[in-house]
Amino acid sequence: MTASRRARGGHAEEGGRQPDSQAASSGQQGGESAPPYHVAMSATMRDVANQAGVSIKTVSRVVNGEPHVRPETARQVLRAIGELGWVANEAARSMRTGKTNRLGIAVSGLRRPRLARLVESIVHEADGRGMAAVVEPTHEDMARLTRIGSDLGQHFDGLVVVAPTQVPDELVVALRGMPVVAVQSGRPGIGWDSVDDDVGDAVALICRHLSVMGRTSVALLGPDRAVGPHEETPSHRMREAMASVGLDSDALYVALEGTDPRAAGASAAQEALLLRPRLDAVVCSDDEVALGALWALDRAGVTVPDDVAVIGYDALSDGVFSTPSLTTVDPVTDRIAHTALALLVERIAGEAPAEPRSVLLPVELLRRESTMGSLWSGR
């Protein structure tokens, strides 16, 4: 500000030295004084307030999305901001409030459609709350996840850890009580706030549906989603659900191999047919595995669902357009994202209880042709 005032006045600086640009101009024009130059000053919050006819505090409330501002007032402020081209100084705001207004999202990767869709839902939810989102792929590198966790409070205010396959115990301890929420971790009680789809409810819905459709012999392609830490497939919840509806609880389990889930599903389906030729249902760990299984069954001359019913998990849009269309469990990712952000915002604001909270959300079974056949209505 001081330098700008000196420049506009065209006076020599303290100590008799002329400003550099004036001195150069004088030398070029035989000692004649150059016309004064002006430095364009950017608009300030006070300028916005004056233009809108409101107080500086009201401008701040509008910019920060605070409640209890009349719509007409907010429109006046936003109109003034647009006319003046004012840009809020996020760095200054961060220094003043101690908040970055940014959210970190740690995810193993975005090549898997289910993870990409969940991250997209979280970003959309954050945007609706006026928060910027920074997506940090971990590639299942625990050192990288730890580094991202160390950025909490510096580069972002809260952290969402999406579907972690594992979390270092020391990181859980280090971030306990901080604004962190684990989403679809399969580990309620991880030590942070957590939001999970109710996989116990999911396996019950799957087994009940298969029983109603007259199935008895089930193969599990990949681990069932209800498997807990240090537990093998089928999980105790899957066995209980199968037994409760009269399915053979001695379900065949075929492990998935390789990094391509569709290819792994195809291979697992082929193996299941060899090991149990009379099976009449396959339950897949996710939709990508199920799509691979549908392909393999078709190639083997097995009719779905007349011979074998197929169920997936995650409700990918691909399943609507497969032949036959895929019955699947929908975890409702938008609801998961909304709940996770609600927990996170409360903890950022210091309004959450000290103990971590675990939320289980209901799922939906989308019944389609791969189990219903001609009974499916197409809705």
Q: What is the pLDDT of residue 70?
A: 85
End-to-end CA distance of the chain: 66
Report, as an integer, the average pLDDT of 64-77: 78
**Strand-pair partners of 329:** 313, 365
Tokens, residue 224: 């069932």
Which of these, 236, 362, 245, 376, lies nearest to 319 by C-alpha position?
Answer: 376
For 49-52, which contacts have Cβ atoms below 8 Å and span 24 or more sequence positions? 49/80, 51/80, 51/83, 51/84, 52/76, 52/77, 52/79, 52/80
For residues 6 and 376, the model is more confident at 376
pLDDT 10s digits, 272-310: 999 999 999 999 999 999 999 999 999 999 999 999 999
Q: Which of 35-49, 65-79, 319-333, 334-348 has the lowest mean pLDDT?
A: 35-49
Question: 82 exposed, middle or buried (CB, 10 Å; 0-12, 13-18, 19+)?
Answer: exposed
Q: Looking at the predicted structure, is the pLDDT value of residue 26 above 50?
A: no
369 and 324 in contact (C-beta within 8 Å)?
yes
Contact 207, 247 (CB under 8 A): yes
Residue 338: per-residue pLDDT? 97
- Is 337 or 15 the better-scoring residue by pLDDT? 337
Taking alpha carbons only, the member of 234, 237, 271 closest to residue 251 is 234
Judge whether 217 and 309 are in contact, CB under 8 Å: no
Percentage of the chain with pLDDT > 70? Answer: 84
pLDDT in tens, 333-369: 999 999 999 999 999 989 999 999 999 999 999 999 9
* Strands, E assignment, 252-366: 252-254, 281-284, 309-313, 327-330, 358-361, 364-366
CA distance 313 to 106: 22
CA 220/CA 254 separation, integer angstroms = 6
pLDDT of residue 10: 39
d(CA 315, CA 289): 12
pLDDT of residue 42: 64
Stronger pLDDT, 260 or 30, i.e. the higher one: 260
User: What distance in Å separates the CA atoms of residue 36 and residue 33, rounded to the nearest whole number?
Assistant: 9
pLDDT at residue 17 above 60?
no
Output the pLDDT for position 58.
87
Per the listing, tokens 């952290």 go with: 159
Read off the pLDDT of residues 168-183 as tens digits, 9 standing for 90 and up: 888 888 888 899 999 9
Q: Which band of pLDDT confidence, cut at 50, 70 and 90, is reported for residue 89?
A: low
Average pLDDT in the chain: 85
The pLDDT tens digits of the residues spanning 136-157 come to: 999 989 888 988 888 887 888 9
Is the pLDDT score of 38 beyond 70? no
**Of 131-135, 149-153, 259-263, where does mean pLDDT reach its minimum?**
149-153
**Residues 328/366, Cβ–Cβ less than 8 Å:** yes
* Structure confidence at residue 65 (pLDDT): 63
Distance CA 332, CA 329 (A): 9
Can you tell me the distance from the alpha carbon of 289 to that of 223, in angstroms, rounded to the nearest whole number? 11
CA 287, 288, 291, 293 torsion-angle sign? negative
**225 Cβ neighbours under 8 A, 6+ residues apart:** 186, 199, 202, 203, 285, 313, 329
Tokens of 212: 């109603």
Residue of higher predicted confidence among 378 and 205: 205
pLDDT at 98: 53
Return the sign of the alpha-carbon dihedral for residues 4, 86, 64, 154. negative
5 pLDDT above the threshold of 60: no
Q: What percent of the chain has pLDDT over 90?
A: 57
Residue 33: what pLDDT? 46
> Rounded mean pLDDT of 56-64?
78
Instruction: Report residue 200 as tokens.
Output: 């116990």
Asked whether the beta carbons of 233 and 253 are under 8 A apart, the reply is yes
What per-residue confidence (pLDDT) applies to 61?
A: 76
All residues at 6 or more sequence positions from 162 whose CB lies less than 8 Å from its CB, including other chains: 105, 106, 107, 108, 115, 118, 119, 122, 183, 184
> Using 50, 70 and 90 to split pLDDT, how confident is the model at 238?
very high
Place of tokens 């998961």: 336
Rg (CA), the chain: 30
Query: Phi/psi class of residue 139: alpha, beta or left (left: φ > 0; alpha: ψ in -120 to 50)?
Result: left
CB 241 within 8 A of CB 304: no
